[in-house]
Amino acid sequence: MTTLSFEDFPPGRFGSFGPQHVTREDILAFASEYDPQPMHLDEAAAGKSMLNGLSGSGWHLCALMMRMLCDGFITRTASLGSPGVNEVRWLAPLRPGDDLTLDVDVIEARVSKSRPETGIVTFKSTARNAAGVALCEMTSPIIVGRRAPVEETR
C-alpha cells in the first residue's frame, strides 16, 4: 500500500469517509467514562435539557471523527502527529443510532519552516448524520512528511 505524503494533499476536497454507526451503548460507555453529564447518560434528564433528548458527548463525536480520519487515510499517511486543533464547533447533537459520514477538505498545505522535510496540512472536517445535517466542524492541522526527493541523474 502506498504511503500518502505532503504532496498528496493539495487544497480542495480530499474525500468523504464513513459511515460510522453509533449505538446508544457506545454513547453511554463514552459518557460514563469521560463526560458523565445527565444529558449524555439519562433519557429523562436529557429530555429536559437544551438538547431535547439523549445525546453523545461532543468529545465522543470528536474521537469518532478522529477514528474516521484514521480509517480514511491517516494510518496510511506519513503523519508525524498534530500540534493542536484550531477550532471545533458542535452544531447539532449526536444521537443514538446515527450513521456518521465525514467530509474532509484541505484548506491549507505549506512546507514547515523549522522542519523543511515536513509540511503542515490543515483540514476542515465536517461530520454529518444520515439526513446530511452537519453535527460538528473541526479545523485541524497535521504534520506530514514530504516525499523523498528523487535523485537527479544525467
Partner 1 sequence: MRFFEEMEVGQRREVGAFTFTAEAIKSFAGQFDPQRFHLSEEAGRNSLFGGLAASGWHVGSVCMKLMIVDAQRLMSDAAARGERVAVWGPSPGFRDLRWLKPVLAGDTISFATELVSKRVSDSRPNWGIVQARQTGTNQHGELVFSLIATAFVPRRDASA
Q: Residues interacting with partner 1, by CB under 8 A?
A: 33-37, 39, 49-51, 55, 57-59, 62-64, 66-67, 70, 74-75, 79-90, 93, 143
The CB-of-83 to partner 1 minimum distance in angstroms stands at: 6
146: cell is: 514530504
Task: Report the residue number, 25 or 151, with the smaller CB distance to partner 1.
Answer: 25
Nearest to 94 by CA among 21, 146, 147: 21
Looking at the Cβ atoms of 46 and 109, the one nearer to partner 1 is 46
For residue 39, the minimal CB distance to partner 1 (Å) is 7
Taking residue 120's Cβ as centre, other Cβ atoms within 10 Å add up to: 19
Name the residue among 89, 147, 86 with its Cα closest to residue 118.
147
Neighbours of 136 (CB within 10 A): 21
Q: Three-state DSSP class for 8?
A: helix
CB of 136 to partner 1, least distance (A): 8
Query: Smaller CB distance to partner 1: residue 57 or 126?
Result: 57
